Structure 1
Amino acid sequence: MTRVVTLTLNPALDRTVILDVLRPGHVHRARSTRSDAGGKGVNVAACLADWGVPVAAAGLLGQDNAGPFEALLAAKGIADRFVRIPGETRTNLKLVDGTGGDTTDINLPGLAVEAGSLAAVRAMLREAVEPGTLVVLAGSLPGGVAAPIYAEIAAELRPLGARLVLDASGPALAAALAAPAAALPFAVKPNRHELEEWAGRSLPDRADVVAAARGLVARGIPLVVVSLGAEGALFASADGTDLAHPPATRVTSTVGAGDALVAGLVAGLQAGLDRTATARLALAFAAGKLGLAGANLPARDTVLALAAAVRVEPLTASA
């Protein structure tokens, strides 16, 4: 079975606060709170584990508060490949408007990382990879880690047969997309804002997003997925482009929905599904996550029912 490894260089303890209504400048009384071990790669691994995909989670953890991460990995049967470093992993605050479900994120700085710790992570990845391994490079970078790190890791792992799935933003995304063809990721999943930031221009219409995605495919990335929030997600490859429309879903929290979409994308790739079936599964993962707190999926039958309800619209060359 194809192996999956996720990389989270800047994990976080996500403190989620549910409010009746978020009103900037006002005093609020929380409806409820919860704390989850998170970070993009951790969340992806958690959803994959719920789906039954064997997965290892790697990256950097502050040794002073590693307990919640260790408990999550153990509970979900995720192989722990994190390197511990001195200090505490950051805490992020997520304010959820209980009326509309919108989330306001306050992300704190991460740990300062020394070269030796990063070298240990890279060595672990090289040892974990074999031909066909799916490696998810996800999330922001902590202090001391330069923007080209994902491009450098891709250059190291692609010759070993790994397929890289990238979910990043800003300079880290730009550096990875500017890499030579031999070091480009297999799949990339920006949202519209991240794609606009990379392109250096607004992409207000669907046609603009499609053109930008197809440009990345032409650059040499086999699969480009652009998440569009409530509009669904665009899936572009050399043999066509689909717009996947999400099913109607009760929203408990949007926290981690993008990570669940990445997990569904990876699950589809791991199972060898075609682009359309992968799009259905990715949207089903994201929709299923919307009804749950934390990085969790509902029962398998529920996810499959959601996948069947995803409408996939093939787009023409002029779309």
Structure 2
Amino acid sequence: MSVVTVTLNPALDQTVVLEALTPGAVHRARSVRRDAGGKGVNVAACLADWGLSVAATGVLGRDNAAPFQALMDAKGIEDRFAWIPGETRTNLKLLDGASGDTTDINLPGLDLTPDALVTVRAALRALTAPEGLVVLAGSLPGGLGPRTYADLTAELRARGARVILDASGPPLAAALAAPVLPFAIKPNRHELEEWAGRTLPGLADVAAAAQDLRARGIALVVVSLGAEGALFCDGDGTLHALAPPTAIASTVGAGDALVAGLVAGLHADLALPDTARLALAFAAGKLARAGANLPPRAAVEAIAATVRVERLTG
């Protein structure tokens, strides 16, 4: 399998579009949509749109798994999820139509059973190969300790896989403190500030903290910066990539689309500047669409050609 994504705490994303979000007020929704989501699911969806062969594993609640099954069937994603009793959580996303900002309300997920994680590990053993790309993404459900990603990373790297980690909080901290590190990580600015223990107000500050992380043994550190684009740090230095202004239909899953573009670039063995362009093009292309969906490949390639990449260091 070319790429495998792991989503241990998926969610049904219910996006409510409002004229404007006013705390404490009564709102009338302009529209509502429901998408099968979770970080790894979103990454898999974008990669499938791009045309890559991708398998998705993790844990789904059997009682409301139908939207996930429909998504995987429609996009040709190989379903290697462990299905357990209960319902996958729902996340509420309130989209302010005036500002374009999204307010997230993430509800608790399923408590994971030991057997379910055994099933996920078995799927990963069957799907991964040397130099294969495995994305570990999102929060952890109840029943799993913060070392879960660190342990999975060690198992996967022992089999020669390249692990891309997109997590936050204690699971990220544990993975970064482990003796075996991911191949690549994708924190946002706030997550990098949490790790660094200080604010990072300027690009130079972000780049210095990212290079500190890279120097610990992570081959590639990508820091997403929202409207400021993203930084890409490897052994040759740091690049800043910035996409042109984009009409925004929904910001939901934009960071996941960036991860998908990063993975697509790694899969194609592109040079880092071209990988950065592709990652930003995935994110910009997704912004123009609701849900974890990319525009046609030619449109993404056209956006990539307009992404500005500047070398900050190296």
**TM-score, normalised by the number of residues in structure 2:** 0.99
Contact 1:3/1:132 (8 A) holds in 2: no
Alignment correspondent of 1:276:
273
Encode CA deviations 1:49-92: one digit per residue, 9 max, x unaligned: 00001000000000111100000000000000000111000000
Asked if 1:64 is matched to 2:39, the reply is: no
Total equivalences in the alignment: 314
Structure 2 unpaired stretches of 5+ = none
Asked if 1:204 is matched to 2:226, the reply is: no
Matches of 1:199 and 1:73, distance apart in 2: 38
Q: Within 5 Å, which residues of 2 pair with 1:142-157?
A: 142-157=141-156
Encode CA deviations 1:167-197: one digit per residue, 9 max, x unaligned: 00000000111111xx211110000011111
Please point out which of 246, 251, 261 is paired with 2:248: 251
Matches of 1:306 and 1:264, distance apart in 2: 12
Q: Which amino acid aligns with 1:194?
A: E
Percentage identity across aligned positions? 71
Matches of 1:177 and 1:281, distance apart in 2: 26
Alignment correspondent of 2:98:
99
Alignment correspondent of 2:130:
131
Matches of 1:178 and 1:142, distance apart in 2: 21
Please point out which of 184, 189, 193 is paired with 2:186: 189
Contact 1:15/1:92 (8 A) holds in 2: yes
Asked if 1:305 is matched to 2:299, the reply is: no
Alignment correspondent of 1:219:
216
The structural deviation recorded for 1:122 is 1.2
The structural deviation recorded for 1:17 is 0.2
Q: Within 5 Å, which residues of 2 pair with 1:27-46?
A: 27-46=26-45
Alignment correspondent of 1:292:
289
Alignment correspondent of 1:267:
264
Alignment correspondent of 1:165:
164
Matches of 1:101 and 1:261, distance apart in 2: 19
Asked if 1:237 is matched to 2:234, the reply is: yes
Asked if 1:52 is matched to 2:72, the reply is: no
Encode CA deviations 1:196-229: one digit per residue, 9 max, x unaligned: 1122221112221111100111100000000000
**TM-score, normalised by the number of residues in structure 1:** 0.97
The structural deviation recorded for 1:316 is 2.6
